[in-house]
Structures are given as C-alpha cells and as structure tokens.
Structure 1
Amino acid sequence: MTLNDRFTIKVPASTANLGPGFDSMGLAVDLYLTLEVEESQKWDIRSACDELKSLPTDETHFICQIAIKTASNYGIGLQPCKIKVESDIPLARGLGSSAAAIVAGIELADTVGKLGLTQQEKLLIATEIEGHPDNVGASLFGGLVIGSYKQNEVDILSFSNITFEMVAVIPDEILLTKDSRGVLPAAFSREEAIQASSTANLLVAALLTQNWEMAGKMMEQDLFHQPYRKPLINFYQEIVDIAKSNGAFGVALSGAGPTVLCFTEKGKGNQLAQGIQSAFSTMSAKILNIDYSGSRVNMVERFIK
C-alpha cells in the first residue's frame, strides 16, 4: 500500500453457539463493522457512532493494538493510519463485536504490512486471541462455521448452502462475556457430556438437512450453557413463547447473551419481528440474514481535494 491508497475493511457480526454448539459453532449475520483506512503520520481513529465515540483515538484503540501486535509477530513495524470506524454491531450484546474488531485488526495488519496471510493463518491468529473459533471464524469466512481449537491448531468448516432468517431481540442492558461465563459449571459428568454433545451433533445434522423442527428442538435442549445463563436474561421464556407463536422454529441465546436470537424460515422474518416488537416495546427486534461473504478488503480511489 502507498500513501495514495485508501481501502475499506468490512467485517460481519456473528452469533455463536446456536444453543448446544458451545464455543464451536458460529454464524455470520448482516450487521457490519466497517473501517475506512489511509496511511498517516500518526494513528488517528475516529467514529460517528455514539457507542464508539468514547473509545481511544490513538494506537491504544483495540483494533490498532491487534493490528500492531499481529504485524510485530511477523517482524513488521506497522505504518500508522487514519481510520474512520463505523459499526451497526451493538457492543456487549452477544453479537460478536469483539470478534469483528479482532478480525478487522488482523485484516488491517495484513493489508498495511503486506503480510500475505492466508485465511487459515488469519483464523489461527484470531482464535488464539479470542480463545475459540466460533465468532471469529464466522466473521472471517461467512456462513455457518463449525470449528475446533486445541494446542495452537484450529480446524474449521464453513457452509454457505443454508438459508433462513433471524430476529435478534436486543435489550438495552449489556452483559459482559466474562460475567456470563462465571455462572457456568467447571465440569460435567460423562453422562451429561454425552447428552450435551449428542444434542450439538444432531443440531448440525438438522441445519445441514434443513430440518428446522429438529434444529429448534436441539437448540432448546442445550446442556452446556443456556440453562445457567437464561436466568440472567429478563423475559427469556416470554420471548420464546411469543417467537414460537409468530413462526419461529427455534430460539437460542446469541453467544453469551443478552441478545436472544429467534430463527425462522426465509420470508417469515417480518411477521416474526412485528410480533416480537409489539410484545416487547422496550427492546429492539431486528431482522437478520446470514452473511455469506465474511470479511473483505476493498481498495478504493482516493478522494481528490
């Protein structure tokens, strides 16, 4: 990249787990973190988004820290950049805002530092930072991803032949992942682990064969995390009841919550969103679709002043 270049980075949001796919299953959705980047003499990060205005405007910004560290790991000192950040991914709501920022930072390092990273290398870097591949994998690859991470090795498969709509029920309250993880048990018995993993396996099979009734059933039978996190989410069961009465085939926490994701067949999202919004006027009911592209970097022509 030269000083005459500008480029954009666009990273989709993600939902993780889909019920029993704990820390291993993710889905990219059509909310986006967007960076408009050009080289500069110093780091300067700005945003017009109210949620992002309080974040640092220099190299201590989280995205910059990820980019600088990633480049440094390859022996590259990163050229400072001027960055305009826009995002419609709500923070700390279980829609992968931190994972999107991690992926954006890696894409920034790769482009400015000319690292030439493969998708697999980006995935490993992001997974080592995040700790699991579900959100970052979805943001990188798009579609439905199923991954496994162990001992500095990550394996993942992505699927783009699945089609449905979702309605995200987003409360005003935030719920930090570290707080939501604090309520989880430290261990499961062998019997519990078998039941929990078989439920996750059957969810995958149901999604890939578009057996929506079975998929919804498996989402509700999760044993890994939802039984412990549901009490932290106000009106969870009420949302489930309203969603099902308005055409949802399944309901699950989005990541660690507090967003609740309601799944419905293609074309039924409007009815579902309207039913939920009328019942829960203090929350936002947003229709979401699957993003199949994942993160992308586009060079753009510099504005002539």
Structure 2
Amino acid sequence: MGKIIVRVPATSANLGSGMDSIGIAFHLYFTVIVEEEMDKWQVNHAQGKGIPTDERNLIVQSILKVNPTIHPHQLTVISDVPVTHGLGSSTTAVVAGIKIANALGDMNLSIEEQINMGAKMEGHAESVSAALLGNMVASTYDGKIATAVDVKMPDDLGALMYIRPDGISEKDSRAKLPKDINLMQAVYSSSTANVFLALASQGKWEQALPFVENDQFHEPYRKDLVPELDQIREIAHKLGIYGTYLSGAGPTIATISNKNKLSELRIELQKINLNGSLRILDIDNVGATLRGE
C-alpha cells in the first residue's frame, strides 16, 4: 500500500444541555499522511513541544489500541485544529488512529465499530461520532456500547468561533464540575436538550437554537474560565442571534446561526477587541475520510 491520507474534521461538543452527547463537525481539519514503514514510530508535526513525536503520540496509541500488530510508520500531521481549545484536537487524533489501523490492518471495521472504539478510548461518544459521521450527532455511551444518530444541518448554517489564544486542559475544566446537581435542574436541562433535538430533526432550526443557551450541566460552573461567554451572548442577542455556547470543555465559544448573521456578529465583536480570533466555519457533512495514493 502506498501513502494513506486521513482527514478528520474538528468537532464541537456539549451543545446546550447535550453534555457529552451532542456534537457537530466543522470545516477545520486534522490531516495525517501515512508514509513509509520505519523501525520506530515517527510523527512529524508542528503542534508544539508538548505533543510527542514517537509511540507516545495519541495517534500511534490509538492505532495500537485498535490493532497492536501494526508495524511502525512515519506519520506527517498537518492540522488547523488548535490544541486544548474545545475543538476536538484529541478526538481528531483518536479518529485518525482508528482509520489508519483499519486501513493498514485490512480490518474492514464498520462505522459503528469505529464509533464504539473511539467512545471506549474517550469515555464518551459525541465527538468521535461527529468526527466520523459529519453533521450534528446525538449519542449515548454506557461504557460498553455507543449509539449515535446524525442530524443533517442546512447549508446556510455555520458557526462563529471565538478562539482564545490560551487553551484549557480538559482535566482542569472537568475539575470545575460538581459531583452532583439538583434533580429539578437536571430535569430542566435534559428536557431542553430533548426539545432542541426534536426541533432540529424537523428542520426547525430558528426555533431550536435558543435552546442551546439553557444548559445547567456545565456552563454555570465553567463560566469563570471564559468570561467572554456572557459578553458574546449579549451582543448576539442584540442582533437577534441565539445559539451561543461553550464549545466542549472550552475555552472556545461557538455561535450557530445563519452565515450572513454570523458575519454581522463578527463585525460587532471585532469592535470590542476580544483577546482571541474570530472564525466563521461551515458544517462538515461528510466526516472523516481516507484515501490512498
């Protein structure tokens, strides 16, 4: 087999009250080129000194978890996905590893099997499901079996991402979460997620998106890590835009809306000189791809 090229979309998780269960894939990509066999694994990348370049790299670890008999190769990573910014940087590496192991080992894994493997590695299924299927995905994982259902999103929807220069580790962000929450708070939060998904599945996005802003599972406890969340949401509301949420564990803030409205929002946010970048992203409706050369 010649070169293999795997491309995995970035993902955004925790839409509204869909903590660890609802994710979206975007046109922002993590690409891995699988090159010649080596005596030892070699991962070439420009992701910073903290990312290993040998068998400790998450891509390689994922490959070997799927198939420990895969021979070492040289891998070259080209990524637009920022590390530790709530856009699925670890998920892209995991999914790339699953795809590479499946190809090199001639395993013929189904998408369902790939989702289950990714969920087992990550502990939840929404990000790997979105990365593999594209679009928006609702999922559940009981520790053994993951179930995922994709919901097609219209072409005129996109997301404005406010990406802070400083990242937040998922470990630090998870530490902010309470061990228990009030029953009525949980019922309210889960019911808003149910209504959001029901409206979205019927294509009623204008009615669905306000429900993204009603989370009680994680945003109230993480807001101090990302003070810009309320600021962006307030400005969006003045423009009639609803659908702003904390992406994944943060610190990226996402706003889903019509792309024309997102352009208006970006102009307004540029006026207040936020300490970060603003990017409008299209929805990826294909998911992870693999091709050989």
- State if a TM-score over 0.5 links the two structures: yes
Equivalent position SS for 1:67: helix
Matched residues, number: 291
Q: CA deviation at 1:14?
A: 0.3
Q: In the alignment, what sits opposite 2:29?
A: 32
- Whole-angstrom CA distance in 1 between matches of 2:110 and 2:54: 28
- Whole-angstrom CA distance in 1 between matches of 2:55 and 2:31: 18
Query: CA offsets per residue over residues 74-122 of structure 1, 9 Å max, x none?
Result: xxx1122111101000111100110111001111111111111111111
Q: In the alignment, what sits opposite 1:71?
A: 67
Structure 2: state its 5+ residue gaps.
none
Equivalent position SS for 1:187: coil
* Native 8 Å contact 1:242 1:279 kept in 2: no
Q: Letter of the aligned partner of 1:55 in structure 2? A: I
Query: CA offsets per residue over residues 111-156 of structure 1, 9 Å max, x none?
Result: 1111111111110000001011111110011011001111401111
Q: Letter of the aligned partner of 2:77 in structure 1? A: V
Q: CA deviation at 1:38?
A: 1.8
Query: CA offsets per residue over residues 169-193 of structure 1, 9 Å max, x none?
Result: 0111211111111121212333222
- Whole-angstrom CA distance in 1 between matches of 2:171 and 2:139: 21
Q: Any residues of structure 2 matched to 1:6-155 within 5 Å, and which?
A: 6-42=3-39, 43-47=41-45, 49=46, 51-52=47-48, 54-72=50-68, 77-155=69-147
* Native 8 Å contact 1:233 1:257 kept in 2: yes
Q: CA deviation at 1:60?
A: 2.0
Q: CA deviation at 1:53?
A: 5.2
Q: 1:33 to 1:52 in 2, by over 3 A?
A: farther
Q: Letter of the aligned partner of 2:43 in structure 1? A: I
Q: CA deviation at 1:54?
A: 4.6
The percentage of aligned residue pairs carrying the same residue is 36
- Whole-angstrom CA distance in 2 between matches of 1:234 and 1:195: 24
**Greater shift after overlay, 119-128 or 212-221?**
212-221
Q: In the alignment, what sits opposite 1:303?
A: none
Q: Give TM-score, length-normalised by structure 2.
A: 0.94
Q: Any residues of structure 2 matched to 1:232-251 within 5 Å, and which?
A: 232-246=225-239, 248-251=241-244
Q: In the alignment, what sits opposite 1:214?
A: 207
Q: Give TM-score, length-normalised by structure 1.
A: 0.90
Q: Letter of the aligned partner of 2:289 in structure 1? A: R
* Structure 1 residue ranges, 4+ long, deviating more than 4 angstroms after superposition: none
- Whole-angstrom CA distance in 2 between matches of 1:194 and 1:278: 39
Q: CA deviation at 1:19?
A: 1.3
* Native 8 Å contact 2:151 2:200 kept in 1: no
Structure 1: state its 5+ residue gaps.
301-305
* Native 8 Å contact 2:213 2:242 kept in 1: no
Equivalent position SS for 1:105: helix
Q: In the alignment, what sits opposite 1:295?
A: 288
